[in-house]
Structure 1
Amino acid sequence: MKSNSQPIKLFVVVAFSCTSLLVSLTPVLAKPTLSSSLSDAYGGLRLRSDAKTTLAQATTFNLPPLPPGPPPGGRVRGGAKRGEPICPLTKPKLTALVPFTESDDSVINVWGQTTVERPSWFFYVPYTKDSPYEVEFVLQDQDSNEISRPPIALPDKPGVIRVSLPSTAPALALNKQYRWFFTINCNKQTISPPTFVEGVIVRVELNPTVVKKLQTTELLKRYAIYAENGIWYDALTILAQMRQKNPKDATLQAEWRHLLGQIHLEDIAAEPILLEQP
């Protein structure tokens, strides 16, 4: 009897150890995939559909210092330049998914960096196409000259939409400030001010060491590299597209909540990500 009891005990210990290891690994496994548009815009990296990427901990977005020159200013939540907007009050409000800072004298600066010539912006829009409202996105250069006004439409339901600079628009120059406006006019018949958000975008170059790392790493880790280097728009675009491809992925959901929480937009994190605008 004694000779049989020891092997049985050994088998139980090994089985329990393997089971514990699998349980400990399960929460950090993800299956990200890469769309063709992401592949074109962010270096051509593709992943097999069964590829698994592990993040040991949530990614930190490192907010860079303000760009040189006059403060960017701007508005991250929907409001009007004068008086009260005529658009219905919603919760959450119209919101730009962009970092912002607030100084001691309550001056808000809304701005972010990109490395691509024709980036994308993301906005939470509380109004739908069933409403008779006009929506507009305008990009201007440092001299207030209009660079692009891509056609966009209100979504089918409230949620986060993506607005991309079209291929026909001029490429963003390096180290230049461009100002963008996203405006919703809820009453075309009056002179009441529309509700809008506003900010600045700057295209920058990463150092060659970081660029090389981006070219040879997995997609989810590329998102982390952009975030850690303060490249907001590129990090957000990668994570948003991965979430669209894998809406039930718990790791991506957690990263999305964590990223938006770092810029004080926790209330937007639970809103759906909708299809890209034309």
Structure 2
Amino acid sequence: MINSRQQNPLILSIISMLLVTLVTPSKSSHYHLFKRISIELFNSHALAQSLPGDIQYTPPDRGAPGATGSGGARAHEKPTILESEDNWTRTRGTAAPPPASIQTVPKQCIPTTPTLLVPQNHLGLTTSSNPTVLWYLQNKDVEIMVFELRKAGEKEPIYAEQLQPSAGIIEMKLPKDKVELEIGTQYIWSVSVPCITEGKRRKISVEAGIQRVAPPPELTQQLSQATTPQQKARVFAQQGYWYDALDTLSTAFTANPNQSTYGDILSLLDQVGLNEIVKKEGQR
């Protein structure tokens, strides 16, 4: 399932799709794009057969310049789960909470812990100043969901947003008038939800890194020759731009829901170790 603000039901022979729009105001009364596209598969085996597809993701060269973020801090190369004392009254501009510690998610919290849709063993790249990020929430029965973005090595977020929980694949476009990633600087983005463990209300946060890079001439040339969104997504994937490839496919799917595009999305997820998400989506 991918999450949306418009409602546009469409039934195909194999999949049934429901586009739903959710409008969530930020603390500054800005309305960002928070999308949810719900997809139910009547025949998961048929969709699973479409996963190999033509799209192939090639990880970027990890030895390339700019391997460290601002201040020499290295951004997360894989998703990290943190647990800290619950503090949901915090807003932008206030002091950061106590340092969180890396934890193994308690069994009772697994259904409500988000999964970030990023490569599991390296830092994802983007060419966009305000990229789109996606995550998966298995269970919508959580009280609150909070998104934050900060520079690597810093505690205070440069952007924070409280969102309405909803199950499935959730897509969030960082607002252009609020966020502008700097080229060569690494950032950490996170999604947090509450969970009750050992009688205490804790905040479980899952975070991953992202870095903006300047598009090389070769990428620009190949994109200019691509005539469809899926072709552009394949160029991004082959060149190692994870966030751009996934965003291009998600946007194309929202505009024109079809099995081929959704198959490419699941194929990308499968290639970076998110096979559990693919399995769950295939069972819907």
Where does residue 232 of structure 2 map in the other structure? 222
Percent identity, aligned pairs only, is 22
Between the aligned partners of 1:136 and 1:266, the Cα distance in structure 2 is 25
Aligned pair count reads 205
TM-score (norm: length of structure 1): 0.63
Contact 1:177/1:201, CA 8 A, preserved across alignment: yes
Shift of 1:74: 6.1
Residue in 1 aligned with 2:158?
147
Structure with bigger gyration radius? 1
Cα 1:75–1:206, aligned 2, differ >3 Å: closer, same or farther? closer
Matched, 1:122 2:134: yes
Query: Match of 2:220, SS?
Result: helix
Correspondences of 1:37-186 after superposition (within 5 Å): 58-66=54-62, 68-69=67-68, 71-73=74-76, 76=79, 80=83, 81=101, 88-90=108-110, 94-101=114-121, 111-128=123-140, 130-131=141-142, 133-144=143-154, 145-155=156-166, 158-186=167-195
Shift of 1:134: 2.1
Structure 2 unaligned regions, length at least 5: 1-51, 84-100
Instruction: Output the amino acid matched with 2:222.
Output: K
Aligned to 2:12: none
Shift of 1:253: 3.2
Alpha carbons of structure 1 residues 191 and 167: separation in structure 2 relative to 1, 3 Å: farther
| Alpha-carbon offset, residue 112 of structure 1 | 0.6
Structural RMSD (CA): 3.1
Contact 2:144 2:163 in 1 (8 A): no
- Using the size of structure 2 for normalisation, the TM-score is 0.62
Asked if the contact 1:87–1:185 (Cα under 8 Å) also holds between the matched residues in 2, the reply is no
- Amino acid of the structure 2 residue aligned with 1:169: K
Specify the SS of the correspondent of 1:238: helix
Secondary structure of residue in 1 paired with 2:163: coil
Q: Which residue of 1 aligns with 2:247?
A: 237
Task: State the Cα distance separating 1:214 from its structure 2 match.
Answer: 1.3
Secondary structure at the counterpart of residue 146 of structure 1: coil
Residues 1:192 and 1:175: Cα distance change in structure 2 (over 3 Å): same
Larger helix proportion of the pair? 1
Question: Structure 1 or 2: larger strand share?
Answer: 2
